[in-house]
Structures are given as structure tokens and as C-alpha cells.
């Protein structure tokens, strides 16, 4: 950062989603963002309640942030995630990006029936999203499963709310 030519400290607008915490973690979030940078970043934190302000602050034309921290809008399938958050015309296109290449990649994978080909297409989409810095989710949830030994072909993959693994699962009785 010192060699970037930026005048220090760098002002950083951070928007934090508070619906699960009621706002009690905002001070902690602010200190966590500023502390590791030893005065190089000066965060300005805005807390918001998504039920009230989501459209206004995060996806609306008046959005005023450089970094948003919080859970993503709800999606139930891989395609609802890709079309909703990452497609240029997506309902929750958080960054407001317009990327025709990414749009084509999303559209192409959504009609692919071969699992191996679709997997490779999804990996390329992930690379594109990270390379362009549209979205980064450093934390994902964990799932625990309890099942009987009669269940076969059960290899769950809940990343991005994937559900196709159920089509290869059966009971052997």
C-alpha cells in the first residue's frame, strides 16, 4: 500500500449488514477493519437493516460504498445465485458491473447437461469473478448429514446451494 502512490490513510466506505446482530457488532467491525492496517486505512462504517435499506444502499443508484460486509441475498440453486448476483441483468447485481463475457458463461452453463463439462464451466466462472474482483465470499456454511447405510451414491455438494447430487442418490434395499 505504501508503494501504491495512495495518500495515507486511505478513506474506505464500509457498509455492514446488521439484521442478525442488531448492530451491536458495528464497533467491533470498525476496529477490526482499521486495526490490522496500523493507520493506513480510515474506515467509515455505515450499518444498515436489509429489510428496510437493502435496495437503497446496496443495489440502488445511490449506493455509496467500496466494501460491503454481510450475508448475500438468499438463493436456492446455482443458477439463481449466478443469474441473481453475477449476471449483468441480475436482480442483486451488487457491483453494478456489465460483463457480457461473464453473462455468456453463465447462460452457457445453465443449459449444459454434461456434469463434467458444467463443472469446468463453473470453475471458469469462478475464475472470472475473482479475476474481475466482482465478489469474494471468504466464509461458507457447513452442513451435517446423518444417513442410513442403505443410501447409495450420496455425495452431497451444497456449494452455491447445488442440489444435482440428489439425482445420483438411491436406496439399496
Question: What is the C-alpha to C-alpha distance for residues 109 and 117, in angstroms, rounded to an integer?
Answer: 8
User: Can you tell me the mean pLDDT for 133-141?
Assistant: 73
- Looking at residue 63, its pLDDT comes to 65
Buried b (16+ CB within 10 A) or exposed e, 110-145: eeeeeeeebeebbeebeebbeeeebeeeeeeeeeee
Residue range 46-97, pLDDT digits in tens = 666 655 565 666 666 666 666 666 667 777 788 988 999 899 999 888 788 8
Confidence of residue 167 (pLDDT cuts 50, 70, 90): confident
Say yes or no to pLDDT of 133 above 80. Answer: yes
Helix, coil or strand: residue 98: coil
pLDDT averaged over every residue in the chain: 75
Answer for the pair 47, 23: CB distance below 8 angstroms, yes or no.
yes
Domains of the chain, by residue range, sit at 1-71, 74-173
| Residue 28, C-alpha cell as written in the block | 467491533
pTM over 0.85: no
Amino acid at each position: 500500500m505504501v508503494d501504491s502512490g495512495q495518500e495515507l490513510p486511505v478513506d474506505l466506505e464500509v457498509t455492514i449488514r446488521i439484521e442478525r446482530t442488531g448492530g451491536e457488532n458495528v464497533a467491533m467491525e470498525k476496529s477490526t477493519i482499521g486495526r490490522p492496517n496500523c493507520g493506513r486505512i480510515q474506515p467509515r462504517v455505515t450499518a444498515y437493516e436489509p429489510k428496510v435499506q437493502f435496495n437503497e444502499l446496496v443495489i440502488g443508484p445511490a449506493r455509496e460504498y467500496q466494501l460491503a460486509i454481510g450475508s448475500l441475498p438468499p438463493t436456492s440453486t446455482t443458477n439463481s445465485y449466478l443469474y441473481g448476483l453475477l449476471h449483468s441483468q441480475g436482480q442483486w447485481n451488487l457491483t453494478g458491473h456489465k460483463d457480457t463475457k461473464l453473462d455468456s458463461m453463465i447462460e452457457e452453463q445453465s443449459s449444459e447437461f454434461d456434469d463434467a463439462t458444467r463443472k469446468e464451466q463453473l470453475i471458469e466462472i469462478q475464475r472470472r469473478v475473482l479475476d474481475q474482483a466482482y465478489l469474494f465470499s471468504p466464509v461458507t456454511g457447513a452442513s451435517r448429514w446423518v444417513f442410513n447405510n442403505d443410501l447409495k451414491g450420496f455425495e452431497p455438494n451444497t456449494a452455491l446451494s447445488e442440489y444435482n447430487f440428489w439425482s445420483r442418490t438411491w436406496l439399496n434395499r
